[in-house]
Amino acid sequence: MWVWFFKLGSPKWFYELSGKWLPWLIGAMVIFMTVGVVWGLVFLPPDYQQGFTSRILIVHVAVAGTSLAFFPLMFVAGTITLVWRMKLADMVAKHAAILGAWFSFITLATGSLWGSVMWGTWWEWTDSRLVSMLFQLFLLLGVISLRSALEDSDAAAKACALLSIVGCINVVIIKYSVEWWNTLHQVSSPVTTDASSPNGPEFWIATLIMIVAVYLFLSVSLILSTRNEILERERKAQWVQDLVLKS
Amino acid sequence: MTEKQTTTSAAFFATLKRDLLIAFKKKNDIVNPFMFFIIVVSLFPIGISPESDRLTEIAAGVIWISVLLASMLSMDNLYRSDFEDGSLEQLLLSPHPLFFLVLAKNISHWLVSGLPVVLVSPLLAYMLALPEEAYGTLVLSLLLGTPIMSLVGSIAVALTVGLGSRGLILAVITLPMSVPVLIFGTLAVQSTLNSQSPLGYLSLMLVMLSVSVSLAPLASAAALRISVN
């Protein structure tokens, strides 16, 4: 039963398997992304209150939802690295941190764009989601800078795994404490527009399609960069040299 | 084995005593973060405003953030000299659970760097025109919050102890993690100022302290084993 799990520890096995998955994942991503983007940005009727700015939310909500998945992912990868010493888990974790930082940044950027129109401000400290996303970005940058500071890749793997686990617990604590902080400070808040209020089935179906599309995009980019990392780290292995010489 | 076996509690107290002794031999390591704290706090009225009304508003936050920065500075000494002279390796080789030895080091670090800051905080609170009724809450919140910062910061120090030039990486890793402590510490003081009971926030900080005492040394010990091999 556990065979497939331990097979995952073998970079070669993952490389071959992910090579078979990739075309399907990319195909599904292109379909969902096209439908979501065209529907959300072209056909969706403008919101009766927000006008055309509601279209930003199609992208924003999908990216924001996805960026919450990174720390749990890194928590799992970190645990696997520390417990089972799997090299593959660390390769995934390395690129998850980088991708996670980008996703958090895009979440903040699209959120600011939308907020600048709807709330009249680019940044609002009283919104707890903004603040906790900002600190998630900081924690991810901390993990990235720790990895770049440690040269030895084995020690870096374990250290980053430990920091990811601590960071994941911290993100949860920060999220709740920031919400607490806000409910107290938010006496007269300019933020009244509920970001998730659906103004019709069309809106949330388009958002749902975009969420699936962004998750597929995340999987594809994570797999691609992990494959790249495998080739680089295993460059001394026979199968990698065979592979490179063949192509 | 010809030597007498020591108990874990004896090892705990020996580590504590040793670290305190070293700290008092190298007074610079104690005095500099403390001076840094006082100087940073005194810069705020000059930079923002000397009016006591505005200072009252920001007093708790200024003191808390300065404490964070000062503890970051002093944290650097936690394992570095032990790592350089090899005694950290001896600590890892000891038969006693590393959890308690790390805890002893953290406690001695807090006694040397955290406690003085807590003790001097009423004076700085007075200089920042914080109303008298909030002094007690400020001291209590710092008393609960500074050990949390020592314990959590210790994880990051342990992770980076092997780095030759770690520069600001310690701050980049640790400062985002101190957000919850900062929030509850300042909220406790604010609620006293609004004549509400700060007990809720203080008990939350007590919870965070108990959780960090029981879990953070585990993570620090794991981090030390990663860094020193």
pLDDT at residue A179 above 90? no
CA distance B174 to A143: 11
Supply B195's token pair. Answer: 């004549």
**Number of structural domains, chain B?**
1
Coil, helix or strand at residue A47: strand
Give the domain CATH number at A206.
1.20.120
Chain B residues with CB under 8 Å of A149 CB are 160, 163, 166, 169
- Indicate the pTM of the whole model: 0.87
Is A166 in Cβ contact with B172 (below 8 Å)?
A: no
Angle separating helix axes A87-118 and A153-185, nearest 10 degrees? 30
Measured between alpha carbons, how far is A118 from A195 in angstroms, rounded to an integer?
10
Residue of B nearest to A159 (CA): B159
For A47, phi and psi rounded to 5 degrees? -65, 145
Per-residue pLDDT tens over the stretch B131-146 = 888 899 999 999 999 9
* ipTM for the whole complex: 0.85
Cβ count within 10 A of residue B20: 16
3-state secondary structure (DSSP) of residue A187: coil
**Which residue among B159, B175, B183 places its CB closest to the CB of A163?**
B159
Measure the CA–CA gap between B37 and B65, rounded to whole angstroms: 9
Would you say residue A4 lies in a domain?
no
Of A138, A142, A162, the CB nearest to B219: A162
In a domain, B105, yes or no: yes
Total domains present in chain A: 1
Q: How far is A142 from chain B (nearest CA, A)?
A: 5
Q: Which domain holds residue B147?
A: 8-228
Mean pLDDT of B31-46: 90
Residue B173 has its nearest CB partner, among A155, A158, A163, at: A163
| Range B187-201 average pLDDT | 88
CB atoms within 10 A of CB B11: 18
Least-confidence region, from A98-102, B191-195, B212-216: B191-195
B36 min Cα distance to partner chain A (Å): 25
A chain contacts of residue B227, beta-carbon cutoff 8 Å? 155, 159
Residue B1 has pLDDT above 50, yes or no: no
pLDDT in tens, A191-242: 444 444 445 666 778 888 999 999 999 999 999 999 999 988 888 888 888 8
**Partners of A47 in beta bridges:** A51
Residues in contact with B208: Cβ distance below 8 Å, sequence separation at least 6, in sequence order: A173, B144, B148, B180, B181, B184
CB pairs under 8 A between A and B: 69
Answer whether A146 sits within 8 Å of B160, measured CB to CB: yes
C-alpha span between B155 and B174 (Å, rounded): 9
pLDDT at A187 over 50: no
Does residue B3 lie in a domain region?
no
Residue A145's domain comprises 27-185+195-246
Does residue B223 fall inside a structural domain? yes
